[in-house]
Amino acid sequence: MSLRSCNLRPATLFQISFMEITVTLENIQPCAHCFWERVQEHDRVFAFHGEMGAGKTTFIAALCAAKGVEGHVSSPTFSLINEYTYKEDGMPKRIFHIDLYRLKDEEEAINAGIEDCLFSGDICFVEWPEKIPSLLPENRVDVYLHPVNTTTRLLKVDFHR
């Protein structure tokens, strides 16, 4: 997969600390694969920032598909946490998809088990992370989604390493 196929621009070629990806529905799967190629093994928590309708869940669904998650991936707005499974090297692995939109405060997040997911060592996708700033690990990947038009999004990815 080339950088050009998903219009990805890394800030550096040696250790990527920031990159931008231009995503459309037509190139979303190649972009998801490019994203995973640039993630390191210790990158486990991914915080997705963007306004309502920016495409957070859509890109998360593409990332899950690229990992081999089978079944429907949807926003856990009411359940707060969805758990998906995939296989890596023949071993079952988990992905937690967390949607904090309805939470009032960090105490509610702790009571819901969000902190347990964040520090489980499993992949965690967090929508609306600004609701729990002090609970997020420092070693995370922030993904900012910016609508360019109705079909295109600019993703700015900041790797906190």
Low-confidence ranges of the chain (pLDDT < 70): 1-16, 161
Whole-number Å distance between alpha carbons of 109 and 153: 29
The reply to whether 2 falls in a domain is: no
- Provide the domain count of the chain: 1
The reply to whether 6 falls in a domain is no
In a domain, 86, yes or no: yes
Tell me what pLDDT residue 7 has: 58
Do residues 81 and 146 make contact, with C-beta atoms less than 8 angstroms apart? Answer: no
42: tokens are 């210790």
In a domain, 78, yes or no: yes
Which residues, 6 or more positions from 94, have their beta carbon under 8 angstroms from its beta carbon? Answer: 83, 84, 85, 120, 122, 123
**Domain assignment of residue 123, yes or no:** yes
DSSP assignment of 1-39 equals --TGGGTEEES-SSS-SEEEEEEETTTHHHHHHHHHHH-
Task: Look up the CATH number of the domain holding residue 142.
Answer: 3.40.50.300
* Predicted local distance difference test score (pLDDT) of residue 16: 61
Segments forming the whole domain that contains residue 35? 20-159
